[in-house]
Homo-oligomer: A and B are copies of this chain.
Amino acid sequence: MNIGEVAKMADLPIKTIRYYEEIGFIQPKRSANGYRSFRESDVHKLAFLGRARSLGFSIEDCRALLQLYENDTRASADVKQIAQEHLTRIDAKVKELQAMRITLSHLIEACAGDDRPTCPILSDLATLS
């Protein structure tokens, strides 16, 4: 399979697939013309990576997950730990964003949003903490 077909099957941009090869996620062979030649298993790996990335796992998490995926003697505890740590990071991020959200929505509510210069949003930003 050529890269274009694989890109459609794994639902990933061509550039991303080449990048994933560069960082060692896959090692497709080359045809005589220099084109990458992908196997079914590459498509599976790429789909796996795409799904993991869409759940927000970092590239390094993906690398670890991929290794576990390919390791028959893995312990599910190792997978769970990676996922758990990632969930913790997500929760932290959500909290951070929600804190911003609250402050911001209060400021927006307080702002007249007309043609006058007085603005509680700017006043807040200008406040020395």
Contact = CB atoms under 8 A, between A and B. Distances in A.
Nearest to A77: B113
Per assembly, the copies of the chain total 2
Interface string A48-72: 1001101110000000010011011
Determine the main DSSP class of A at the interface with B: helix
A14 interface: no
Contacts of A116: 75-76
Contacts of A105: 87
B48 A79 contact: no
Interface string A68-89: 1101111111011101101100
Contacts of A65: 122, 125
Interface of A: 11, 44, 47-48, 51-52, 54-56, 65, 68-69, 71-77, 79-81, 83-84, 86-87, 90-91, 93-94, 97-98, 100-101, 103-105, 107-108, 111-119, 121-122, 124-129
7 contacts: A44-B128, A51-B126, A72-B117, A80-B113, A83-B111, A86-B104, A87-B104
